[in-house]
Structure 1
């Protein structure tokens, strides 16, 4: 994002060297050219080799950086890092625009690099390539001596310990409540016995009253102590519950759809889409989507994965072939969360999906259950983070009368934090309907039990 009008050679910081080399080879032997080249006679070969390593073959050095895709721009910057070989490398979400092949090259680079590398990323597969994990929270920075899976294991140990602590606190509260009840009953029994004893002994009222008052004060003091203890235990219990809530991902259960397995939902025969007279796919597509399929739609960037989803959703017309689509309900989650009306506040957004005609107070309860605090309810959807938008979309889906027959996911983990990725991963893994997933997130793909691949070229 720091580059705008520069050429690729300028981004790499080699434009003066390349121009000097070409001038010298053309016969211009002025001293300035030799100074600019600085004896780096193999600069073009080194750049070509680095480009090849990052999958940037046949790219022109004096092409504008703005003509490249997001993934290509990332690869150019990574090429710059390879050429300079710095002691310290800082990477901020480096895999966001890379396809599966590009990500694997990046992971290999990280594994093999001798540099000190600090990565800020939500890419769990990449975080597994690293030796140390730093977690930033409102409490500061916590250091874990291992990769992301190690971090998860340590968090699970924390959860186990907190749940044991929670059970002990709940047990202590029950015991204290029982003691308060026993003290109340004891006071009542003593008062009854005291009245009887006073009547039998014929004690003067003032003496009997003083004795009764002293007994009441003793019992009341013991009860007050127990109630204070209960208040303190409740405070600790609430604190433990909050700690657990911060660590355990929210569980969002998606109901199974009513459609039976084995039904052909989509059948494509020799289809293609033409742009400016050229087919999107090298060969016409032939495919079937059957109810119960859990499909990973794969292919390099620019191979028409999103276009195929648009065809399935009847948002794009094909140029050639036959496409049969059976009646079925679907729900679409993309990285832009395009199903949300971004000018809506949260309650208005839920109302748009409210097939069950829930009342406002019921919708607010639903928002609270999905970890949206009261102060967020009047926010416009555009003000939400990626993770919050994802939770809101899943919440909207739950307001339908029935679950969708097909979930269409287009890079759903791209703009959400690790905590939100864990929520989404659990929800999709437990969904028993048909899935069509476009994703370059190998960690996510490995977790959601896909059973079929369709590769586009």
Structure 2
């Protein structure tokens, strides 16, 4: 089976976008290409333009349409909604919903819900596949995590109980062991209960009980570990800004931003003061 990957690089130097598509070895008539890109909201006149004159979003659509026109056996599509606006993402979701034979990797949950019917999850210790879109998988995962977290709490309580019992048994065993050399039992008491033989047997039993409790605790720990192997925690994100004495950190005047020869914004003035938080 042949596999294809998106995104990929086109030649980028040919006369027209149609030439770029045909250079991939796609044996389609021009009307078939026009029909395919039309499903993604592109007009046919883009095919006559050089690829470099197309926006990033238009290039994304051209590349994806070309892959499906090539009829490769199976596609791995990685983040196809990059460079697309809201309308473009909706068109992409509708387009992929009508296709088969691909794995879609995306942070766009709406796209995943609209375009997929199975979800493959790469967990910490295994890989699972489940019928349904992302939302159904996410609900099932949340319910499973909730159940496993409740079971974990029960196990933690049991482990604490076993640890307390094991510590107590060790303390008793140590006391009895010390009495074998006369450290904790008087001579008259030793004679009355059968002497050192009795104390030795009692010590042996206490040590055995301690070992049994330790094995039970270890089994509980192993069970806990097996239960929690797929639970994930969100680590706390801490931002510690550096301290500056000056109030004004930077000032920009008359800034212009270009994309190629196109002006994105012009004559921008702004300041960055101590403590400001700026979103890009």
User: TM-score, normalising length from structure 1?
Assistant: 0.46
CA distance in 1, matches of 2:228, 2:25: 61
2:276 to 405, 412, 424: 405
What is the CA deviation profile of residues 406-457 of structure 1, one whole-angstrom value per residue up to 9, with x for unaligned ones? 2424xxxxxxxxxxxxxxxxxxxxxxxxxxxxxxxxxxxxxxxxxxxxxxxx
4+ residue runs over 6 A deviation: 14-17
1:195 aligns to what SS in structure 2? Answer: coil
Rg comparison, structure with higher value: 2
- SS of aligned partner of 2:82: coil
Residue 149 (structure 1) aligned to one of 135, 139, 162: 135
After TM superposition, give the deviation of residue 214 of structure 1 in Å.
Answer: 0.7
Is residue 132 of structure 2 the alignment partner of residue 125 of structure 1?
A: no
Matched, 1:224 2:211: yes
What is the aligned counterpart of 2:90 among 104, 107, 119? 104
The alignment partner of 1:406 has SS state of: coil
Specify the alignment match of 2:155 in structure 1.
Answer: 169
Which residue of structure 2 lines up, in the alignment, with residue 445 of structure 1? none
Matching residue within 227, 234, 237 for 1:252: 237
- Cα separation, 2, equivalents of 1:131 and 1:79: 21
Give per-residue Cα distances to partners, 1:224-265, cap 9 Å, x unaligned: 111222233334444545532xx3333425689xxxxxxxxx
Q: Give the number of equivalent residue pairs.
A: 258
Deviation at 1:143, TM superposition (A): 1.5
* 1:347-362 equivalences in 2 (<5 Å): none
Q: Per-residue displacement from partner, 1:23-61 (whole Å, max 9, x unpaired)?
A: xxxxxxxxxxxxx99xx6xx44x5445444434336453
Q: Secondary structure at the match of 1:408?
A: coil
Mapping 1:49-64, distance limit 5 Å? 49-57=35-43, 59-61=45-47, 63-64=49-50
Aligned partner of 1:430 in structure 2 is: none
**What secondary structure, in the 3-state scheme, does the structure 1 residue paired with 2:273 have?**
coil
What's the offset of the Cα at 1:189?
7.6
Counterparts of 1:234 and 1:15 in 2: how far apart (Å)?
A: 57
- In 1, are the aligned partners of 2:176 and 2:199 still within 8 Å (CA)? no
2:188 aligned partner: 199
Q: Any gaps of 5 or more consecutive residues in structure 2?
A: 1-7, 242-253
Between 1:135-144 and 1:173-182, the stretch displaced more is: 135-144
The CA deviation string for residues 35-92 of structure 1, in whole angstroms up to 9 with x for no partner, is x99xx6xx44x5445444434336453544455444322211233357x495966241
The one of the two structures with greater contact order (alpha-carbon pairs below 8 A, sep at least 6) is 1
5+ residue gaps, structure 1, are 18-35, 257-270, 281-303, 309-317, 330-403, 410-457
Q: 1:96 to 1:89 in 2, by over 3 A?
A: farther
Q: 1:154 to 1:224 in 2, by over 3 A?
A: same
Q: Scaled by the length of structure 2, what TM-score is found? A: 0.70
SS of match in other structure, 2:269: strand
Partner Cα separation in structure 2 for residue 324 and residue 136 of structure 1:
44
Quote the Cα distance in structure 2 between the aligned partners of 1:77 and 1:120: 15
